[in-house]
Structure 1
């Protein structure tokens, strides 16, 4: 019985209009974010998959507890679709890649927590923009989802039809495997499993290395050169030839290599039209060492052929990279990794390898192949040179003015300054490896040295962006330089102007090693008289491979 002056509690009633507006707001938010990362038919498929959870808002619930459960459940479900759409949009915008592409999965499998943090630190501006999209969507959904229909409100007109249709279509979609696997929860769970399996596959590839050595021995390679021989192969990371003074860049980023060229003349060949066919490290190195042939064809590996022919092989690296170590480094007789701090973006400077190079050159082996894998200018750029040694950060020169005139942002111009400083230090390291190769060894010894990058880098050349770039030509423009202390074989006068493909680099390396075996393709050796250029198919438009 109520006492005088007291009132019975009035049940909370959600108006039909408010429920429908809330429903529409969430539906519009989901469609917008889904469309960011998907197109065409996929947008409809994702919308159908999201429909049952969204339609739950129109189903009356009895108690406050169930109302809270519904509010949280629908919000979580909606945000799964939001995160999926925004993350896919980021990958499409930045790398022109889908999350289940080999490019993205290989990068994720080859990344650890420290490198992830450093990646976020480098690209925080882009993440901030996309994070704002997520925050706005989260707020809209959170403010709307609490207005779902309560049991004490009349069933909204049309709600029965909407809920029934959503349940039927959503049920059919979830029963269909091709549709179900697109659901964010299912897709990203499967994606994570694929990345984990890929990482496990890299953990121990001893069997594949043994098979590569067996194939190499079966090919019976020989060395078509008498006497001692030393070949040094310097592979660097993320170097764009457009930023090198050796290639005509306005800033003095390669004074030492220019001095070597002036002294060595024709002994030092600068391949002025060198290209990678890959915009990331792992596929580039696989192509480089496997002669650009598909893995399904069980191609030879340069290091395995060199060992089978009688070379003692070194692999020394400034990368702490399990995939590279398993796929390539462990094929060598001697492996020396100077950087054991996790992450390709570790702070170890490439100069730490110079003592290792000298030690290998002084080894008494008759024939030596020394592979030097540098960090080069792999982001972060400011970690690739000694602290305080950035000569380009306090002057406004022609490069800075051109970037500003092209509309490049201040942060991209800053990255260009750091990138060029990294190349100046890189010039010192690379030149020292050449100087050591020229200086150390017997007077009658054949010596050769080759330097190239795995891929390029975009630093405001074609877009207002700094980093790996599979969507611009800068991601594929690389330097390639070759030196030999003898010119027994007369080179064509235009050899430096020939277009060069990094996925064919194995054939040129084999030529420097004087390796001969049945099945060798001389027409892919850029130094050979029978070289035949075939333009690669890149995911970007290249007006000309020769400039």
Structure 2
């Protein structure tokens, strides 16, 4: 009587059939990896990543007798493909959306400045793109899993040796892979090593931001050594309003077709020469952290050891407030903590929190009413229209979501999709609410103190926003003009503002020079050619991906 075996005997495959199946598995899995790598890389990096990915692909050509080892091989090859694929699709998404590599300053800064909740909200807003790229990755994984099962199987059947050309090709590829792994610059491109190092860079960035006290102490000492002086006697109150993600093209104050800024228009009619709307204002950065760094460090590079605007103001005798609706560790550590009084109204993690900007109005009024100091600088940092747009205005306060107006018709003619038009409606509703907050801040400043006291107010955005202006997408846009087109408005109750001079283009990274003028602070590092309020102002176009003639409109 025969004893049944634990595993049914395998019917041996002819040798040429087994080799064909194994070669097909190598070819399909290799081609799948090649397509994925090409999506996220270019130039010689495609060849470098292909060599780094080749060992497990070539493993499919190595005959295995054990069924357990073949299952393990199938699993490992599938995970290997998904690992390289995930690396590629993330790179491809960043390249397509932001024209940036994952290890660029833009992406590292954004990742270091992002909480888990904000990441989830970002993915929820951009779920369409996430779905497309995820579907591509899953498809590649399924293909790899199906064909990895067809890897070479050791057979008891007699057969010829593999062709010499196949042995030579495999040997050549293995040699190339060994050289790739031996080379440190090549080896660091491997997804496991690259993203491990990337994660460490993000953590290092966060640690650097969290350990800013020594930097602030150094900047304070530097400001005292500069010895800035206030040239105007008497009480002085200056309010700087910095908002987020506002594109001036969506403001009726700048000629937009929807009534998004009725209150600021009313202020403009009332204030006359005391108020100036800078028609050609530009940011030089398309994201918040570098934009604010430039604003408060005069647009100077780190190599020149530029002073901090708030440290100079304090050294000159101003009491400084920082009132913010952001919960942002980078901005708090790099800028807010330079102030005498720091009031972070919004303490919900993530810039996509539902805290409305109107929450800061009472805090600003308290600062304006403070009688303990003669000179005040109040910095107000708003959420503005930072995505999600629907969280930037009160519920059921969108007057643009029903009517088919000229703006909607224009978007349809331009081929903008329904979801981009929907975001435009929300964005414009956010600007309408933003107009209420900003105009209230201006009114508070105009009404503060005694009529003869000097008061000034400056408002601008850190960067712009693309909402169907130049492409069928919504969000940050570092590669188009919409990412840099910002509003800038000045008001002061003394010394009328020259309308002719203020028709020139303005750079947000030169904000500090104008702010020093509004504060009447003099110091030995002044550059009147960068002060838009000075007769010596000389425009210089920044290095951003916008045509030179665009700065004049």
If the length of structure 1 is used for normalisation, what is the TM-score? 0.97
Aligned partner (choices 325, 329, 332) of residue 325 of structure 1: 332
Whether 2:166 is the aligned partner of 1:166: answer no
2:67 is matched with 64
2:86 is matched with 83
Q: Deviations over 1:35-70 (max 9, x none)?
A: 111111110111011111110110111211111111
C-alpha deviation, 1:166, in angstroms: 2.4
Aligned partner (choices 300, 306, 309) of residue 313 of structure 2: 306
Whether 2:509 is the aligned partner of 1:503: answer yes
- CA shift in 2, pair 1:436/1:23, >3 Å: same
1:463 is matched with 471
1:533 is matched with 539
Aligned partner (choices 16, 28, 32) of residue 29 of structure 1: 32
Aligned partner (choices 527, 530, 534) of residue 521 of structure 1: 527
Whether 2:411 is the aligned partner of 1:384: answer no
Aligned partner (choices 248, 251, 256) of residue 241 of structure 1: 248
C-alpha deviation, 1:382, in angstroms: 0.1
Aligned partner (choices 14, 20, 24) of residue 23 of structure 2: 20
1:188 is matched with 195
1:87-236 maps to which residues of 2 (within 5 A)?
A: 87-152=90-155, 156-157=162-163, 158-236=165-243
- In 2: Cα distance, 1:77 partner to 1:11 partner: 30
- In 2: Cα distance, 1:10 partner to 1:284 partner: 67
With 62-71 and 377-386 compared, the bigger mean Cα shift is at: 62-71
SS for the counterpart of 1:15 is helix
Aligned partner (choices 252, 258, 266) of residue 259 of structure 2: 252
C-alpha deviation, 1:491, in angstroms: 4.4
1:494 is matched with 500
C-alpha deviation, 1:167, in angstroms: 2.0
C-alpha deviation, 1:543, in angstroms: 3.5
With 164-173 and 176-185 compared, the bigger mean Cα shift is at: 164-173
With 238-247 and 80-89 compared, the bigger mean Cα shift is at: 80-89
SS for the counterpart of 2:552 is coil
Tell whether the 8 Å contact from 1:37 to 1:87 is kept in structure 2 after alignment.
Answer: yes
Tell whether the 8 Å contact from 2:501 to 2:535 is kept in structure 1 after alignment.
Answer: no
Aligned partner (choices 334, 358, 367) of residue 351 of structure 1: 358
- CA shift in 2, pair 1:314/1:10, >3 Å: same
C-alpha deviation, 1:3, in angstroms: 8.3
1:339 is matched with 346
- Displaced runs of 4 or more, over 6 A: none
- In 1: Cα distance, 2:28 partner to 2:358 partner: 57
2:435 is matched with 427
- In 2: Cα distance, 1:393 partner to 1:311 partner: 45
1:438 is matched with 446
Tell whether the 8 Å contact from 2:326 to 2:382 is kept in structure 1 after alignment.
Answer: yes
2:41 is matched with 38
C-alpha deviation, 1:498, in angstroms: 1.2
- In 1: Cα distance, 2:209 partner to 2:455 partner: 34
With 368-377 and 7-16 compared, the bigger mean Cα shift is at: 7-16
Structure 1 unpaired stretches of 5+: none
Q: Deviations over 1:115-173 (max 9, x none)?
A: 00000011011111111211211111111111110122756435433332222111110
SS for the counterpart of 1:532 is coil
- In 2: Cα distance, 1:352 partner to 1:500 partner: 30
- In 2: Cα distance, 1:439 partner to 1:455 partner: 29
- In 1: Cα distance, 2:485 partner to 2:190 partner: 38
2:410 is matched with 402
SS for the counterpart of 2:397 is coil
SS for the counterpart of 1:171 is helix
1:9 is matched with 9
C-alpha deviation, 1:2, in angstroms: 4.3
SS for the counterpart of 1:68 is helix
With 332-341 and 70-79 compared, the bigger mean Cα shift is at: 70-79
2:518 is matched with 512
Aligned partner (choices 486, 494, 511) of residue 478 of structure 1: 486
- CA shift in 2, pair 1:21/1:480, >3 Å: same
- In 2: Cα distance, 1:282 partner to 1:3 partner: 74
- In 1: Cα distance, 2:512 partner to 2:325 partner: 22
Tell whether the 8 Å contact from 2:41 to 2:88 is kept in structure 1 after alignment.
Answer: yes
- In 1: Cα distance, 2:42 partner to 2:392 partner: 40
Tell whether the 8 Å contact from 2:286 to 2:484 is kept in structure 1 after alignment.
Answer: yes
Tell whether the 8 Å contact from 1:275 to 1:477 is kept in structure 2 after alignment.
Answer: yes
- In 2: Cα distance, 1:533 partner to 1:541 partner: 15
C-alpha deviation, 1:542, in angstroms: 4.8
If the length of structure 2 is used for normalisation, what is the TM-score? 0.96
Q: Deviations over 1:210-234 (max 9, x none)?
A: 1111110000000010000000000
SS for the counterpart of 1:330 is helix
C-alpha deviation, 1:204, in angstroms: 2.0
- In 2: Cα distance, 1:159 partner to 1:8 partner: 32
C-alpha deviation, 1:296, in angstroms: 2.1
- In 2: Cα distance, 1:492 partner to 1:388 partner: 41
- In 2: Cα distance, 1:412 partner to 1:12 partner: 59
User: How many residues are paired up?
Assistant: 543
C-alpha deviation, 1:27, in angstroms: 1.0
